[in-house]
C-alpha cells in the first residue's frame, strides 16, 4: 500500500486519476438512478465517472446538511448505498449504516440512541440521482471534497453490534482503521484490476464493508452489489464474477441451487465456520475457499487464510498489524485496526479494551502447531453464532425475558439448523406470557427473534445440575437437558 494513502477515499481518488477509464462499478439493473435522457442510462460507470458522481453527492450532502453531524441511513445493498458510503467519506461525514434486515423496531432503537442526520429513502434517492445527473453533464474530473481537517484517526464509520445487554452498540471506526484493515486483508488475498467482485452481504456490517468495499477501493477492480441469494442469481445471470464473500448458510444454498459461474475463482467465508463438506464441495468445483476470523470491534479482520494455505476447520493466521495474546485460551488483540470505541459509550469501551490497548475478543482460540493458523473453539461467554453469520448474546436476551412477571427462567438457544433461535421459558403454569415476550421481540433485529417459544420444564431433582448456587444457568448442562426435552409452542 503506498504511504501516500491516508484514507480509503485517497485510494478512490488515486483510481480516478490512474485508471479513469477503467470499469469501476456495476449498476446491476438499478437504472432507476439514471434518466432515459439526457444522459443515456448506464449499466456501469468508470472510475472517473464514479469520482464525479461521488463528488457531486458529497457537495449535495454539504449543502443539504448544514452541520457535519453523522448521517444514518438504511442499507439495502443497492448502488445508492455505495454512493452514500463514498460520499460520506468524501464530504467528511461519519456514516452510520443500519441493515434493513434488522426490521423497523430495531432501526427505531438505533435511531433513538444517537443524535444525527437521518437520510430517508426518498432523500437518498433524490440526492444520489441529482448527483448523477450533475456528474454526467460534462466537464473534467473535479477534486474530491475531502475537508482539509479530516485526519486518519478521525471517526469515519459507526457499525452496529450487539452488546452484552442485547441492545445494539455503535462501533466507531477511524479512517485509518478502515484503510489498514482492508489493506491487510488485500495482502492476504490479492485481487487485481481485472477481477469482478460481487457483493451480496450487507455493507452495513464489518465483513462486507472491509473485505468487499475496502479491498475494491484499494485494488481498483470492478464491483457489483446485490443482496443475498436472489441477488446472486440475478447478477450471475448477467455478469461473470471472479470473487465473492459469503456466509456458510448462503454458501450452502448457492452450492445446492446455483448458478456457479465458471469465472468464479475464489469465495471468502466469514461470520461462522464453513462445514468440511461445504469446503470440499466448493474445492471440487475449482473454487478456492478463504476462511477468516474477526469481529466488528476489530475492524473486523483479525485473521485470514490465503490462497496458498486454504484448509478446512481453520481461520488463517493473524493479518498484518495485529499483536495477539492468549490467556488461558482466551484471545486478546492489539493494533491500529481496533475501533476507537463504542460510540458515546466510554464505560462499555473500557470494559472491552484495557488501559494497555488490548481488546478482549471473548473467544476461545488455539494456534495449530502445524499450520500456525487460528482454530476458533467457541465463545467464552457462550455467544450463539448462526449459520448466516449473525452473532447473538443469549445472556442479554435471557435477562430481558426473565424480567417478565411469572418467568422463572429464560434460555435462548440456536434452533437445530442454527438458522435462528428458540426461546425456552420456565413459568409456574402452562400458559406462556406471549404478549410480554412479543413486546420485547419487536425491538430486536430479526435474527434475534425466536422461531419458536417453548415451555421449559425443570424437574426439581435436576435443578442443582442445571443451575449454579447463584442461580445462573449451567449452559452446557441446560443444552443437554433441552436436547432430551419435548416442548410445545
Mean residue pLDDT across the chain: 89
**Domains of the chain as residue ranges with CATH:** 8-378 (3.40.50.12780), 393-484 (3.30.300.30)
Read off the pLDDT band of 10 (50, 70, 90): very high
Percent of the chain with pLDDT over 90: 64
Per-residue confidence band for 38, with pLDDT thresholds at 50, 70 and 90: very low
User: In terms of pLDDT, which residue wins out, 464 or 387?
Assistant: 387
- At 219, list the grid cell: 485494488
Q: How far does CA 25 lie from the centroid of its chain?
A: 20
Cell of 24: 469501476
**Portion of the chain with pLDDT greater than 70, in percent:** 91
For position 487, what pLDDT does the model report? 45
Q: What is the mean pLDDT of residues 283-303?
A: 96
Identity of the highest mean pLDDT range in 140-144, 185-189, 248-252, 379-383: 185-189
Angle of helix 394-402 relative to helix 434-441, nearest 10 degrees, comes to 140
Q: Which three cell numbers stand for residue 262?
A: 465458471
Q: ∠ at Cα 182 (180, 186), nearest 5°? A: 115
Those residues with Cβ within 8 angstroms of residue 476's Cβ, 6 or more apart along the chain or in another chain: none
Lowest-confidence range among 67-71, 76-80, 193-197, 382-386? 382-386
Cα 423 to Cα 258, 402, 415, 451, 452, distances in angstroms: 33, 11, 9, 8, 6
Give the range with max mean pLDDT: 43-47, 214-218, 226-230.
214-218
Position 489 pLDDT exceeds 50: no
For the segment 235-246, the average pLDDT, to the nearest whole number, is 94
Chain center to CA of 351: 22
Backbone phi and psi for residue 214, each to the nearest 5 degrees, phi listed first: -65, -45
pLDDT over 60 at 488, yes or no: no
Q: What is the pLDDT at residue 305?
A: 97
Alpha carbon distance 395, 402 (integer Å): 10
pLDDT tens, position by position, 124-176:
999 999 999 888 876 555 555 555 567 899 999 999 986 434 567 899 999 99
Amino acid at each position: 500500500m503506498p504511504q501516500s494513502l491516508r484514507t480509503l477515499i485517497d485510494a478512490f481518488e488515486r483510481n480516478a486519476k490512474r485508471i479513469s477509464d477503467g470499469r469501476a462499478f456495476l449498476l446491476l439493473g438499478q437504472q432507476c438512478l439514471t434518466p432515459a435522457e439526457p444522459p443515456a442510462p448506464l449499466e456501469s460507470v468508470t472510475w472517473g465517472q464514479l469520482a464525479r458522481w461521488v463528488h457531486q453527492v458529497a457537495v449535495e450532502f454539504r449543502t443539504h446538511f448544514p452541520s457535519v453531524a453523522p448521517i444514518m441511513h438504511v442499507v439495502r445493498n443497492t448502488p445508492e448505498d455505495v454512493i452514500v458510503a463514498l460520499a460520506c467519506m468524501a464530504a467528511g461525514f461519519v456514516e452510520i449504516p443500519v441493515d434493513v434486515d434488522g426490521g423497523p423496531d430495531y432501526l427505531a432503537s438505533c435511531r433513538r440512541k444517537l443524535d444525527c442526520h437521518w437520510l430517508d429513502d426518498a432523500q437518498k434517492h433524490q440526492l444520489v440521482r441529482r448527483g448523477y445527473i450533475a456528474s454526467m453533464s460534462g466537464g473534467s474530473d473535479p477534486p474530491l471534497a475531502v475537508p482539509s481537517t479530516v485526519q486518519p484517526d478521525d471517526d469515519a464509520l459507526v457499525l452496529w453490534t450487539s452488546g452484552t445487554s442485547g441492545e445494539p452498540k455503535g462501533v466507531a471506526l477511524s479512517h485509518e482503521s478502515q484503510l489498514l484493515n482492508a489493506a491487510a486483508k488485500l495482502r492476504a488475498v490479492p485481487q487485481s484490476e481485472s477481477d469482478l467482485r460481487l457483493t451480496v452481504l450487507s455493507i452495513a456490517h464489518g465483513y462486507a464493508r472491509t473485505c468487499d468495499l475496502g479491498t475494491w477501493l484499494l485494488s481498483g477492480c470492478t464491483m457489483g452489489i446485490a443482496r443475498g441469494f436472489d441477488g446472486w442469481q440475478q447478477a450471475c445471470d448477467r455478469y461473470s464474477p471472479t470473487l465473492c464473500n459469503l456466509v456458510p448458510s448462503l454458501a450452502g444454498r448457492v452450492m445446492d441451487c446455483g448458478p456457479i459461474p465458471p469465472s468464479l475463482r475464489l469465495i471468502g467465508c466469514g461470520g461462522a465456520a464453513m462445514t468440511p463438506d461445504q469446503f470440499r464441495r466448493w474445492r471440487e468445483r475449482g473454487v478456492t475457499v478463504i476462511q477468516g476470523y474477526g469481529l466488528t470491534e476489530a475492524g473486523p479482520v483479525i485473521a485470514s487464510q490465503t490462497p496458498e494455505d486454504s484448509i478446512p476447520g481453520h481461520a488463517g493466521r493473524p493479518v498484518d498489524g495485529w499483536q495477539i495474546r492468549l490467556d488461558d485460551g482466551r484471545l486478546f488483540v492489539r493494533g491500529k485496526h481496533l475501533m476507537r470505541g463504542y460510540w458515546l459509550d466510554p464505560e462499555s469501551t473500557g470494559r472491552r479494551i484495557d488501559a494497555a490497548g488490548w481488546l478482549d475478543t471473548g473467544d476461545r482460540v488455539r494456534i495449530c502447531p502445524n499450520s500456525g493458523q487460528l482454530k476458533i473453539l467457541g465463545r467464552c461467554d457462550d455467544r450463539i453464532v448462526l449459520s448466516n453469520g449473525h452473532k447473538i448474546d443469549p445472556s442479554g436476551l435471557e435477562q430481558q425475558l426473565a424480567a417478565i412477571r411469572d418467568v422463572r427462567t429464560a434460555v435462548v438457544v440456536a434452533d437445530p439448523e442454527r438458522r435462528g433461535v428458540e426461546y425456552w421459558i420456565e413459568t409456574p403454569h402452562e400458559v406462556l406470557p406471549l404478549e410480554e415476550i412479543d413486546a420485547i421481540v419487536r425491538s430486536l433485529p430479526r435474527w434475534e427473534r425466536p422461531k419458536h417459544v417453548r415451555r421449559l420444564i425443570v424437574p426439581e431433582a435436576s435443578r442443582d445440575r442445571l443451575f449454579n448456587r447463584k442461580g445462573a444457568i449451567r449452559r452446557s448442562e441446560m443444552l443437554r437437558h433441552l436436547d432430551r426435552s419435548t416442548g410445545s409452542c
